[in-house]
Amino acid sequence: MSRVGLSYDECRKTWVGMIALAGVAAERGVVRLVYLDEAYERRVREGRMTTAHDLREAIIEGTVQRVRPKVMTVTAVMGPDSFARGGGSDKGKGLVSSAN
């Protein structure tokens, strides 16, 4: 995460935001594993887990089920701060850039 050359001051709020984002990322990773596990177990029960291609399809299925909610959340939370102008927007940009 290189933030060299950005035009905002890194402050404690920015670092707190980065720590919070790390926690959210860990939580979402666990949720993603749950979706992957459910897709895998469903295919095993149905007898459709016999080849590496079947495993790949289960991974894609579990991932796709998780992509839409994640994209919606990221857009709703980070979208407004990414394009904000005016007072206080410099703090939001610090948080948004730390997630990239």
37-76 pLDDT per residue, tens: 999 999 999 999 999 999 999 999 998 888 877 788 777 7
Domain boundaries, the chain: 12-80
Number of H helices, E strands in the chain: 3, 0
pTM of the model: 0.56
Chain Cα centroid distance, residue 56: 21
